[in-house]
Amino acid sequence: MTKKRAKSEIVVKTLNSQTRSRVFKRLGPLVFLAGLALFLSACHHRAVVVAPPSPAPTPPAPSKKRKPSKEKRHPAPPAPIVQGQEGIASWYGHPFDGRHTSSGEIYNMHAMTAAHLTLPFGTVVRVHDLENGKSVEVRINDRGPFVEGRIIDLSYAAAMAMGMTGTALVRLQILKPGQDAAGGVYSVQIGAFLDPGNAERLKQHIEKKFQPVIIRKDDHGGRVFNLVLVGQENTPQQAQKLADQLVHSKLATQTYVVRIN
């Protein structure tokens, strides 16, 4: 074995440069193909092929973070009040009686008041029951109801005057706009948590793409909820577009447009 190796080394050393060039030119492609085959064989055993994910639809969300403008904001024109809104009405009494409403008033379940998500506080509304033909006149002094499909939450007295035992299909007739009808500010409520830590974590997550995000405390029957609100828009329509963006971006599943002033 040693003699054969020695002879091979002598032969290689005695080859002139021209001979070596011809040998390498002939052997070069073979060496390349052999190396490529070895590489592919190794990859076949080690590599994990991952199918590319199907492209997700591009959301209409802005590419940059939504930040509050530092420019001086002029008072927004009054938001258009929608006449003839139809939906489900509910009512609330105990244990909310005697507690603060979103407007700051003390809730009196025996007064003719109601909660609405976006109508200005002080707006006078006639609620028509489309099932029994009765109607009542109420004043908006609270926010709610936060249940999908419901448009107004009547006081206990208003519900009893209209003959409601549970919920009812109603139509709203605006009789008198509230004194603060102009300059409305609207946000999108995306969560309500008893644990303030959960609200803070959601706030930090949303702030990466949308700003501003605020947390408000709301007393509901002796339980204090931490409400996560996104955006500060001038009209309910703008707030609804923001709500659609949040859902499309998979940052929220259930949203409510709420007037916050």
216 and 141 share one domain: no
Q: Residue 75: inside a domain, yes or no?
A: no
The number of angstroms, rounded, from the C-alpha of 17 to the middle of its chain's C-alpha atoms is: 74
Q: Residue 76: inside a domain, yes or no?
A: no
Percent of the chain with pLDDT over 70: 66
Which pair of structure tokens corresponds to residue 180?
Answer: 């603060």
Q: Residue 150: inside a domain, yes or no?
A: yes
Q: Residue 58: inside a domain, yes or no?
A: no
Report the distance separating Cα 252 and Cα 249, nearest Å.
Answer: 8
Q: What is the DSSP letter of 58?
A: P
What value does the CA radius of gyration of the chain take, rounded to a whole number of Å?
A: 35
Sign, CA dihedral 112-118-122-124, equals negative
Q: Residue 135: inside a domain, yes or no?
A: yes
- Tally the C-alpha atoms within 13 A of residue 159's C-alpha that lie toward its C-beta: 20
Report the distance separating Cα 76 and Cα 87, nearest Å.
Answer: 28
pLDDT tens by residue, 115-140 = 999 999 999 999 999 999 999 999 99
Q: Residue 79: inside a domain, yes or no?
A: no
Which pair of structure tokens corresponds to residue 151?
Answer: 């448009």
17 and 40 share one domain: yes
Q: Residue 113: inside a domain, yes or no?
A: yes
pLDDT tens by residue, 160-191 = 999 998 999 999 999 998 877 667 899 999 99
Domain around 91: 86-176
How far apart, in Å, are the Cα atoms of 195 and each of 72, 185, 205? 36, 26, 16
For residue 89, pLDDT over 90 is answered with yes
Give the strand pairing for 223-233 and 113-115: unpaired
Residue for token pair 């859902």: 247
- DSSP assignment of 137-171 equals EEEEEE----STTEEEEEEHHHHHHTT-SS-EEEE
Which range, 24-28, 158-162, 179-183, 223-227, is most confident?
158-162
pLDDT (average), residues 212-221: 86
162 and 92 share one domain: yes
Report the distance separating Cα 154 and Cα 157, nearest Å.
Answer: 8
